[in-house]
Structure 1
Amino acid sequence: MHGDERLSYQALEYQANQLSHYLIEQGVSADMPVGVAFERGNTMLVAMLAVLKAGGAFLPLDPAYPNERLSFMLEDSGVDLLLTDSTLTAQVPCPNSIKSVYLDQQIMGSYSTDVPDVEFHQQQLAYLIYTSGSTGKPKGVALTHAGLSMHVQTIGERYGMTPDDVELHFASISFDGAVERWAVPLAFGSRLVIRDQALWSAEKTCDVLVQEGVTIACFPPSYVGPLLDWISYSKPNLKVRSWTLGGEAFTRETYDRLQQVLKPQRIINGYGPTETVVTPMIWEAYAETELSSAYAPIGTAVGERRLYILDPQLNRVPLGMSGELYIGAEVGLARGYHGRADLTAERFLPDPYGAAGERMYRTGDLVRWRDDGVMEYLGRIDQQIKIRGFRVELGEIESKLQLLSGAEHCAVVAHEAPGGKRLVGYLQQTDKAQITEFNEDVLLQRLAADLPDYMVPATLVVLAKLPLTPAGKIDRQNLLAPNWNELDDASYIAPEGETEVLLSQLWKTLLGV
C-alpha cells in the first residue's frame, strides 16, 4: 500500500502480469535491462515485477537523484526502454535513443492477467544496481535470479517473516537494500507500506508506524537519531518487533539509544556490498545484548555463503587478527560489473577454498573475528593513506574517535595542508549542550593516549550534521578542510634563542612554508 491506495496480492499480480505481456510485445527478453523511474508508490512495484516476469532485468532509477547521474546510468546500462510517468520528464532525462513508456498514459486492460510463459535460467540477469566507483563514475552491478531468489528465502527465514508482518519500505529504490525490503515481504505474504517520495519527518514516520501497525522497520543509522528523539518525546504505542539498521556504520551511541528508548525485541545490523546480493551478513541483538565496541559487529553469514579473512597473499589470518574480508558463494554473488570485464576480474576472484569454478568477492573491508564467532568491521582497506611515511587506516581512527567522543557519527579525512597531508576529525552532535561542552584539547589528548602521534588528527570539527550521499552514507568529499592559516596562527609560538630560530628557518625551507 501507498497512502490511501491499497493493492491486494491478486491485484498486484494481475497488474504486473498485464504489464509483462505488454513488455514482451515490446521485445523485452532475457538479460535485457529496462529502466524503471517512478516516484515511490505502487506503480513502482508493479513495474519492477513486470520486468522480471517478462524475463528482463530492471534498472531502478530514483527521480531524486541528480540528472547527470541518471543520464549516465541510462547510457551505461544500454537500456532501450524506460518505464516512467509523464510527470517526470524534467527529472529523468531520457535521450531520443531510448523509448519512454509513460504508464500514467497507458491502458493495459486488454492484456492477459495470466502469468506469461517465460523460461528462466539461474544466471539470468534480474536487476542492475549502480554503486559509486573509484573513478567518480558509478558502476553497474549485475545481479542474477539465482542470487536474488536464494537471498530472499534465507534472509526472510532469518527475519522470521510471516503473513502477519507489516513492513515499512523506506530506502531509495536505487539502493540495493530497497530490493530486499520489498521482495522479502512479498515472498512471505506480508503487508508492505511504501513511504512517499519526499523524505518523511520523524513525526510522520512515527505516525505511520503506529497507524499501520508496522512490525518490521529498516532505516539508515543517520535517520534514526531524529526518530528516537520524537519517539522519546511522544511515547507512541509501537508494534515494531524488529529494527534493522544498515547502509553505513552503526555506532554504539545509536545502539545504546535504541535499547534505551525502544527496548526492542530485536535489533539487526545489516552488512553487505551490492556485489554480494544485499546483506550477506547480519548481526542480531536483543534486549540483554551489550555492546562494548565503538561499532556494532557485522555478524554472521546469511544462507550458503563463505566468509574468509585473508592477508594480501590470500592466506587465512589467525583468530582475532585483522585482514580483508572475502565472500564466497555458489550463487550469492553478482555476475560482475556491467560492461566492465577488467573490474570484474579484479574484484571477483577464483575461490581457493571453494569447489572448482566457484568465486569469491574482494570486499575491500578490514575485519576481524571476535572470540564469540562474530565478525567485527574495522574500516576500509582503501581508506589507508600515508601520513609522514606511515600507513594509516582511517577507519581505526574513526572507531577510536567514536568510542572516546560519544558523538553520533564520526569521520576522519586526510586533507592537503602546508607541509603535506593532515588529518581532520569530524563529529556529529545534535545535542547543543554537548557541542557547547566539547573540549577539543581534552579529546585529542585522550586520542594521543591510545594512538601513535601520526594517527592523531590535527584538529577536530563539530558539525550539527555530517553531509550524506544519496545512499545515506557519510559524504567525505564534502567535508571541507579547515582554514589551516587560522589554525596555525592560533597555535603558533615564536622561536626563542639562536638555536630555535635556526631550526625554524631550516624547517620552513624544507616544508616550503
Structure 2
Amino acid sequence: MHQEPSERAAAPAWSAHPLHELSEDDRHLFQRFGRGPVAAVPHACVHHAFERHAATDPFALAAEHLGATITYGELDRQANRLAAHLAGLGVRPGDHVALCVRRSIPMLVGLLAVLKAGAAYVPQDAGLTPRPQLDHVIRTSRARVILTTSGFAERIPVPEGHVLVAIDTVMAEPLDRARDTVAFRPARPPRGDDGCYVLFTSGTTGRPNGVTVTHRNVCNILLTAPGDLGMRPGTRVGQILNVAFDMAAWEILGCLSHGATLVIRGKDIAETVRRVDVVIATPTVLSRLDPDQCRQVRVAAVAGEPCPRRLADRWARFCTFYNACGPTETTIVNTMQRHDPAALRLTIGRPTPNNTVYVLGPDRRPCAIGETGEMWAGGDGVSAGYLRNPELNAERYVPDPFLGGGRMMFRTRDLGRWTPDGELEHLGRTDDQVKVRGFRVELDSVSAVLESLPGCARAVTLKPDDTGLVSFVSPAHLDPEAARRAVATALPYYCVPRAVHPMAALPLTSRGKVDKVALLRLAAERRTSGEVAS
C-alpha cells in the first residue's frame, strides 16, 4: 500500500536552560511527562487518506443521512467535480472557501471539494448562525466563494464580488464521464502546512476570531492513536455536532480518513447514537443520553468542557471512554485519557503523539510536579494562529523555549497540574477563577462537588455579581438546600453558592456546551424577581 512521506522530522532535543530552577527529579519528570510519544503520520494532507480508501474500496458506504447514502467512490467523484468547478471560479491553493451548510451529504461533498482544490474550508451552520455573524466570517476570512445548499441560498450574505454556489445543484448536474470521472489536481500539490480549515471561536471583543488549522495539525491528531479512536472500515461513526465546532472535524475527517461510515444525525441525537460504534460529544450532550440505550457504542470521547466523574464512570463500564482536552488553537484535543472506573481520579491524560504540554507559572517558568500552573501546549498540534490579529497572536503564541528550533507554543488559559504518575488534572480556567470576599475560588471546583450528588447530571457555577456565587444543576428534582449543604461540607464557606437553581436541563450553545451567557441572564432575572432557592 502506497503512503505519502509523513514530513515528520526527528524529535528535537529539549532545551535544558529553562529547567535549571527545578530539582533534578522534577527536570526529568517535566520532560518525561510533558512530551507525547513520537509517531509517524502516514499522510501529509487529510483528504489524501480519504482518497486512498475511495480508490481501494469505492463501493464501501461513506455516509448515510435520513435514508440517503453515498459510497466512497461516489463521494470522491462528486467532490472532484465540485473541486474542478471551484478551480474554474478562481479558487487556488491557500485560499479560503466559506462552507455555510447544515448536516447533510452535500456538506461532505463541499468540504472535500474545498480540500481537493487546495483551499481551507470555513464552516458555519447555515441554519443557526445569525446573518451578521455569517457576514463577519465571510468578510474576515476573505472567502470569495461561498458554498451552501439551495435551501439556504437566500439567507446567506453575498458581498459584492463574491460567488455563491449551491452544492446540491452541482451534484444534480448530468454526469460528464470524460470530465467528472477524473481525479482533480490543484494548480500545485497541497502541503502539510497549508490550511485545512478556519474555525471562528468566541472572541473577547464580541467578534469571533478565526483560527487557521493546517493539514499537518489535523493529520497529527486524526491519523495517530489514540486520536483515531480505533476507526476502521466497517466502523459506524456518529456525526452529531455543529459543523462550525472543531470536534465535528474529529467526527467527519476522522471517519472519512479511516474508511469508516459516517452516520449523520437528523433532529434526534439519541436515535443516531443508538446506531453507532463511535460517538464524539461534549459532556453536556452525552449527559442527555441514556447509556443503557447506547450499548452498541464501543468508543466514546468527550472534550470541550470539564467531564463529571459520574458520567465518565457510567460510559467507561461498557465502552472505551476517552476524556480529552484542548482548545481549537491546539487542533481539536492535545491530551487524552482512557478512563477506568476503578481509577483514583479522572484526568485529561497525557499529551497525544508529537505534542507537548507544559505547566508554567505566571512568569512562564516551569512548575514543579504537583504544583498548579497554567498549561501551555507545544508540538505539531499548535495551529497557524489567528487571522489578521497580530496582537492576539503575540499574546497567545510565543516561541517554545523547550523544543526550540523556531517551534511555537500556545497559552491555553487552562489550569492544571501533573499527578505523580504523569497525568494532567484539569483545574479550571484562569478566567473561571473569581474572588469572593477576597478569597480566590475556582468555579469548576464548586460544580464538581455538586456533580458528585446522587442524581446530579450536570452543574455550572457562576459569579453574576458581587453578591456571591450562583449554581445551576440538572435535573429539576434536585434539592437546592441539600446541594448547598454538600458544598459547605466539602469546601470553605465562601465557596457556598447563595442560590442553587435546579433545571430540567441546562441550556446549550449551538456547539453543545453549557450556555453560560443564558444562565447569567437567568440568574439576573431570578434575582430581580426576588426568586431564591431555599
Q: CA deviation at 1:52?
A: 0.8
Partner of 1:160: 230
Partner of 2:41: none
Q: CA deviation at 1:481?
A: 2.2
Q: 1:12 aligns with which of 56, 75, 78?
A: 75
Partner of 1:429: 475
Partner of 2:501: 461
Q: CA deviation at 1:388?
A: 2.5
Kept after mapping to 1: 8 A contact 2:488/2:496: yes
Q: CA deviation at 1:109?
A: 3.4
Q: Which amino acid aligns with 2:189?
A: E
Partner of 1:500: none
Partner of 1:83: 147
Q: CA deviation at 1:152?
A: 1.9
Decide whether aligned partners of structure 1 residues 443 and 41 sit closer, same or farther in structure 2, where only a CA change above 3 A counts: closer
Q: CA deviation at 1:82?
A: 0.3
Q: 2:207 aligns with which of 102, 116, 137?
A: 137
Q: Distance in 1 between matches of 2:531 and 2:92?
A: 63
Q: 1:290 aligns with which of 308, 323, 342?
A: 342
Superposition RMSD in Å: 2.4
Decide whether aligned partners of structure 1 residues 484 and 227 sit closer, same or farther in structure 2, where only a CA change above 3 A counts: closer
Q: Distance in 2 between matches of 1:194 and 1:270?
A: 23
Q: Which amino acid aligns with 1:476?
A: K
Q: Which amino acid aligns with 2:259?
A: G
How many residue pairs get matched? 461
Q: What SS does the aligned partner of 2:68 have? A: coil
- State whether structure 2 residue 361 is matched by structure 1 residue 319: no
1:365-380 paired onto structure 2 within 5 Å? 365-380=414-429
1:411-430 paired onto structure 2 within 5 Å? 411-416=460-465, 420-429=466-475
Q: Which is further off, 442-451 or 368-377?
A: 442-451
Q: Distance in 2 between matches of 1:140 and 1:488?
A: 40
Partner of 1:497: none
Q: 1:239-264, CA deviations, whole angstroms, 9 ceiling, x for partnerless residues?
A: 322122222221122223335xxx42
Q: 1:115 aligns with which of 184, 205, 216?
A: 184
Q: CA deviation at 1:143?
A: 0.8
Kept after mapping to 1: 8 A contact 2:451/2:459: yes
Q: Distance in 2 between matches of 1:224 and 1:134?
A: 28
Q: Distance in 2 between matches of 1:59 and 1:108?
A: 28
Q: Distance in 1 between matches of 2:334 and 2:449?
A: 26
Partner of 2:4: none
Q: CA deviation at 1:13?
A: 1.3
Decide whether aligned partners of structure 1 residues 221 and 490 sit closer, same or farther in structure 2, where only a CA change above 3 A counts: closer
Q: 1:112-169, CA deviations, whole angstroms, 9 ceiling, x for partnerless residues?
A: 4223143223322121011111222111101112112222211466523322322122
Partner of 1:200: 268
Q: Distance in 1 between matches of 2:335 and 2:207?
A: 27
Q: What SS does the aligned partner of 1:154 have? A: coil
Kept after mapping to 1: 8 A contact 2:80/2:184: yes
Kept after mapping to 1: 8 A contact 2:226/2:352: no
Partner of 1:336: 385
Q: Which is further off, 367-376 or 167-176?
A: 367-376
Q: CA deviation at 1:461?
A: 1.4
Q: Distance in 2 between matches of 1:151 and 1:108?
A: 38
Q: Distance in 2 between matches of 1:402 and 1:97?
A: 52
Q: CA deviation at 1:356?
A: 2.2
Partner of 2:488: 448
Q: 1:394-414, CA deviations, whole angstroms, 9 ceiling, x for partnerless residues?
A: 222222333356521111111
Q: Distance in 2 between matches of 1:291 and 1:469?
A: 31
Kept after mapping to 2: 8 A contact 1:409/1:428: yes
Q: CA deviation at 1:48?
A: 0.8
Q: Distance in 1 between matches of 2:80 and 2:228?
A: 30
Q: Which amino acid aligns with 2:222?
A: V
Q: CA deviation at 1:489?
A: 10
Q: Distance in 1 between matches of 2:467 and 2:368?
A: 33
Partner of 1:382: 431
Q: Distance in 2 between matches of 1:485 and 1:51?
A: 50
Q: Distance in 1 between matches of 2:296 and 2:527?
A: 51
Partner of 2:523: 481
Q: Distance in 2 between matches of 1:397 and 1:385?
A: 12
Partner of 1:24: 87
Q: What SS does the aligned partner of 1:454 have? A: helix
1:19-418 paired onto structure 2 within 5 Å? 19-63=82-126, 64-106=128-170, 107=173, 109-110=175-176, 111-112=179-180, 113-117=182-186, 118-155=188-225, 159-196=229-266, 199-200=267-268, 202=270, 204-205=271-272, 209=275, 214-228=276-290, 232=292, 238-259=295-316, 263-286=317-340, 289-290=341-342, 293=345, 296-329=346-379, 331-404=380-453, 407-416=456-465
Q: Distance in 1 between matches of 2:114 and 2:243?
A: 15
Q: Which amino acid aligns with 1:459?
A: A
Runs of 4+, deviation exceeding 4 Å: 155-158, 482-491
Q: Distance in 2 between matches of 1:411 and 1:31?
A: 41
Q: Distance in 1 between matches of 2:123 and 2:269?
A: 24
Q: CA deviation at 1:316?
A: 1.6
Q: Distance in 2 between matches of 1:363 and 1:145?
A: 21
Q: What SS does the aligned partner of 2:147 have? A: strand
Higher RCO by CA contacts (8 Å cutoff, separation 6 or greater): 2
Decide whether aligned partners of structure 1 residues 240 and 99 sit closer, same or farther in structure 2, where only a CA change above 3 A counts: same
Gaps of 5+ in 1: 492-513
Kept after mapping to 2: 8 A contact 1:31/1:126: no
The two structures have a TM-score, normalised by structure 2, of 0.81
Q: Which is further off, 104-113 or 370-379?
A: 104-113
Q: What SS does the aligned partner of 1:481 have? A: helix
The two structures have a TM-score, normalised by structure 1, of 0.84
Q: What SS does the aligned partner of 1:248 have? A: coil
Q: CA deviation at 1:54?
A: 0.7
Rg (Cα) greater in structure: 1
Q: CA deviation at 1:386?
A: 2.4
Decide whether aligned partners of structure 1 residues 158 and 73 sit closer, same or farther in structure 2, where only a CA change above 3 A counts: closer
Q: Distance in 1 between matches of 2:362 and 2:471?
A: 29
Q: Which amino acid aligns with 2:499?
A: T
Decide whether aligned partners of structure 1 residues 488 and 104 sit closer, same or farther in structure 2, where only a CA change above 3 A counts: closer
Q: What SS does the aligned partner of 1:143 have? A: strand
Kept after mapping to 2: 8 A contact 1:322/1:368: yes
Q: Distance in 1 between matches of 2:382 and 2:204?
A: 20
Q: Which amino acid aligns with 1:334?
A: S
Q: Distance in 2 between matches of 1:373 and 1:135?
A: 37
Decide whether aligned partners of structure 1 residues 257 and 307 sit closer, same or farther in structure 2, where only a CA change above 3 A counts: same
